[in-house]
Amino acid sequence: MSIKVLTKAEQTAEFIIQTVAPIFNMNGYAATSLSDITKATGLTKGAIYGNFKNKEELAIAAFTMTEKNMLRRITDHQSLSDSPIEKLFLVTDFYRNYYNYTQEIGGCPVLNMGVDAKHQIPALFQHVQFTIGKIQSNVAKLIDSGKKLGEINTQINSMLYAKRLYSMITGAIFMTHTMDDNSYLMETMDQIDKMIHNELKR
């Protein structure tokens, strides 16, 4: 298996994205200035715009990296079990520790960028919508897999249930960050676990 060696330009672009992603996530698009970006990276304006067409392109690249890392963490955590129903419980287990994880990256990227980008950057907002759709679709696929294996009630509407679960999770994330109180996430995950056990599990 060959390992791709990044060019100097690719390494610089990756460094810029990794450095400014938490800044965009914490401050938002409008509140992140070019001077914030140059100060954080130690690079000149010319070096920044030599790698990215504009601030919007950089913001999209930063969000994409952040959400990919987040989705990878969820996937890795789900790999602890092969059972679809157990993977659903592992989703709630992941979000029990989500507050600590997002403290490191400036907050929840989906929540922060979703609110920030809706009226400012349509292209970035579309990326947020795509990410939400991807998360919901993955949960729906788990439910479908559970139905086929006889673990989950076949009468359940998979996508409708996935949307309901993710709406509850997102609401708990918002309250936890707003109130600086992880109990919102912990209690909501307990409630979702009860729903999975009582309403989904066969």
In degrees and rounded to multiples of 5, residue 152 shows phi and psi of -125, 145
Name the average pLDDT for the chain: 93
Sign, Cα dihedral of 120, 73, 36, 12: negative
4: confidence class by pLDDT, cuts 50, 70, 90: low
In degrees and rounded to multiples of 5, residue 15 shows phi and psi of -60, -45
What is the radius of gyration, based on Cα positions, of the chain?
19
In terms of Cα–Cα distance, which of 171, 146, 177, 173 is closest to 81?
146
Q: Which amino acid is at 75?
A: T
Reply yes or no on domain 63-200 having CATH 1.10.357.10: yes
Residue 172 has pLDDT above 80, yes or no: yes
Residue 3 has pLDDT above 80, yes or no: no
In terms of Cα–Cα distance, which of 164, 149, 170 is closest to 196?
164
Query: At what angle are helices 158-179 and 122-148 packed, to 10 degrees?
Result: 130
pLDDT of residue 8: 85
pLDDT of residue 2: 53
Separation of alpha carbons 106 and 147, rounded Å: 38
Q: What is the pLDDT of residues 59-107, one digit of tens each?
A: 999 999 999 999 999 999 999 999 999 999 999 999 999 999 998 888 9
The pTM assigned to this predicted structure is 0.90
